[in-house]
Amino acid sequence: MIQKSPKSIKIFRNIGLSGRLVEGERVMIGPYVRDDKDFSACGVFGIMNRSGGRFRARKIVRAMENMRVRGNGLGAGYAVYGLYKQYKEYYALHMIFDEKSVKRKVDEFLQRNFEVVHEEAIPTDESVGLPNPPVFWRYFVSPKKKGGDKALSDEDYVISKVMYINTRLRGVYVISSGRNMGIFKGVGFPEDVAEFFMLNEYKGYMWTAHTRFPTNTPGWWGGAHPFGILDWSVVHNGEISSYGTNKRYLEMFGYYSTLKTDTEVLAYIFDFLMRKRGLPIEVVARILAPPTWEEIDSMDDRERAFHTALRMTYAPLLVNGPWAVIVARNGIMFGLTDRIRLRPLTTAERGDYFFISSEEAAIRAVSPNLDRVYTPYGGEPVVVTLEEKALKKVLGE
């Protein structure tokens, strides 16, 4: 059964590049000494204006400040949608370099494979004092396909080049590769990362954010959330114990995880299942967080056959462990948790604004008076989309 709530919300029911910061290393963050092996829970947050109205970062930074105790200063970041109006038809490649000298080989690679219409350093405020920041650069590009690459879609072509850079070129990573969106992330608390990137200079119709408390992976600039590929971005709270299986399966289809954090596979899973395979989110939710075999056996013949086929076909993409994610793509945002909600999500509405958060308190810090607050069921996605008129404007149609 599908329940529809107002304004395009759908609730589906019953269906440091050099390794400076390594695991166990104690890192000075401000006046405190933090240890990245402490155990706690990360914080995630997302806001969309469904009419397409663009707003500055202060709203989401305020929400993240409210969840400060969910992080320990070893990672935070933001994804912003609708910020590159002048270049919205081009892929915006956000990159981090070990040092400026790395840029020459990146430039040579991009000139061979893309039309580069503009490039620039990503503005940062070094006075914020975040530890060991790499060099940040962005390029606005369109594919320049040759030979056998002509058979690829533009999206698959961009992915292939992003994977080449991340696996073959030393000292550089692509952390964002979508159109009219960008990811900004690093080592620090959310408010410090926002100040470092001067995010209040940007406007977007949708923002997602993360504060990190690393448990099994190092706190470093590339390993902060969000993770992205093409227009997709993912912020995640939890542990993915199926990471090895998920990672090896995705490698068969050209997706390579190189950023030393389990969450990276989630961005690739959503791209593979929803863009490449064309599956809707209610079906994807049944792959990542499936019903048990006992539940499947109790279904009628048609439902049992459908869910059995999903489990057999996409078994390596089942996501084990406690987890909650907020996923965004141009025009859409959704939240999803594991089936028994071992990591929390709360959603709310106020006028044209839709919120997803680890905590209701963070939502009320931004919008004290809400029209509606509700908690999604485990394994059941909550989806919000831009209004049709706003979506056409965002996509340039």
Known catalytic residues? 42
96 vs 10, 196, 221, CA distance in Å? Answer: 37, 14, 9
Q: Which two tokens stand for residue 366?
A: 């931004």
| CA proximity to 172, closest of 129, 140, 219, 138 | 138
H or E stretch covering 33: strand 32-35
Provide the terminal-to-terminal Cα distance of the chain, rounded to the nearest Å: 33
Name the token pair of 65: 């400040």
Measured CA to CA, the distance from residue 272 to residue 305 in angstroms comes to 23
136 three-class SS: strand
Hey, how many other C-beta atoms are within 10 angstroms of the C-beta on 388? 10
How many whole angstroms separate alpha carbon 333 and alpha carbon 60? 15
- Phi, psi (rounded to 5 degrees) for 308: -65, -40
Give the integer Cα–Cα distance in Å for 373 and 5.
12
Cβ atoms 41, 213 nearer than 8 A: yes
Q: Are 140 and 91 in contact (CB under 8 A)?
A: yes
**321's tokens:** 């462990």
User: Contact, 234 vs 228, CB < 8 A?
Assistant: yes
Render the burial of 311-348: b for 16+ CB within 10 Å, e for the rest: beebebbbbeebbbbbbbbbbbbbbbbbbebbbbbbbb
Q: Which amino acid is at 223?
A: G
Q: Which structure tokens are listed for 37?
A: 């092996």
